[in-house]
Amino acid sequence: MKVVIDNAIPYIKGVLEPYAEVLYRAGNAFSAEDVRDADALIIRTRTRCNRELLDSSRVKLIATATIGFDHIDLEYCRQQGIKVVTAAGCNAAGVLQWVASALALIAKADGWQPQELTLGIVGVGNVGSLVERYAREWGFRILRCDPPRKEREGGDFLPLEEVAAQADIITFHTPLDSTTHHLIDDSLIALMPSTGTIINASRGEVASTEALRKATQRLCIDVWEREPNIDLALLDKAFIATPHIAGYSAQGKANASSIVVGAIAQRFALPLTEWYPEAVKPTLRQPIGWQEMCRSIATHCDLVAQTRILKEHYVDFEALRNNYHYREEYF
């Protein structure tokens, strides 16, 4: 049995070696030769899993330590009988705390309290639902947009255009697919309050770079089109700018590694289905008041410092992302 693993995935080195031949590669350096005799791949977003990579391989399982799957050709995998497993929900609390830090900075800059504002949440899955839960407790009026959930469940989900028109702050937590590509475009931005705020911690391609460059709204951006070669005019304009690390908590990374190892264990009957990194202590969700969060969040998730670092060292985007010190979740 052979497994090829992205060498930037933490906590995983040494776990599968007693049971398999393991090859570590940089995520953007996986080659057809590397995977030709592999049974499984453990990847991140930097590995494009498509016909070009997989066509001559015997791969039967791709486990991605990410919540997104836009880097995987799902139709090709389906045709070839390759199972794809994602780490859905693994980093929800990490993204929540990044969003909370952004909200705290915006509130400090503008002098408002949550009860005075409407927060729009676009994409109410694992991440968006957690953002909603805490934002409601803090006092925000919440508007939700999630067309797939609206179709399945009904409920009070609104069309995107209504959320955009009414929300003071709108935060995006959607996957990237044909329905969400450039969801944030000129026409949507035109509906938003000119002094509002756009938060994107989903996927870079959910927003049109050109549209964001022309926007009058405040921009809080963690994900970018054409990473790592991000648009410098947009970077300069952004109020908050980080190198795709919103979900980079120790617990989020440990959750992801546990999920992908568990997927390998289940598929190949290895005694690792309950494995979790010993170095990380899981965090239990607990309430935190708005004022307490605003006082404490920068100690755990300092977006001012991260923004300064990215703006000064944008050429090192990939290194900043890969070498980011995983923060501890605390609520």
Give me the sheet containing 21-25, strands edge to edge: 21-25, 2-6, 40-43, 61-64, 83-86
The region, left, alpha or beta by phi > 0 then psi within -120 to 50, assigned to residue 249 is beta
User: Active site includes 244?
Assistant: yes
Tokens (6 digits) for 49: 């899993």
Rounded distance, CA 185 to CA 85, Å? Answer: 31
Rounded distance, CA 6 to CA 27, Å? Answer: 5
> Are 193 and 170 spatial neighbours (Cβ–Cβ below 8 Å)?
no
Beta pairing partners, 207: 184
Residue position matching structure tokens 């989903």: 202
Burial class, 156, CB count within 10 angstroms (exposed 0-12 / middle 13-18 / buried 19+) = exposed
Rounded distance, CA 169 to CA 167, Å? Answer: 5
Alpha-carbon radius of gyration of the chain: 20
Catalytic, out of 44, 144, 203, 327? 203
Beta pairing partners, 83: 61
Catalytic, out of 137, 210, 227, 328? 227
User: Active site includes 173?
Assistant: no
Q: Which of 272, 74, 81 is nearest to 177 (CA)?
A: 74
Catalytic, out of 71, 173, 244, 321? 244
Residues marked as catalytic: 203, 227, 244
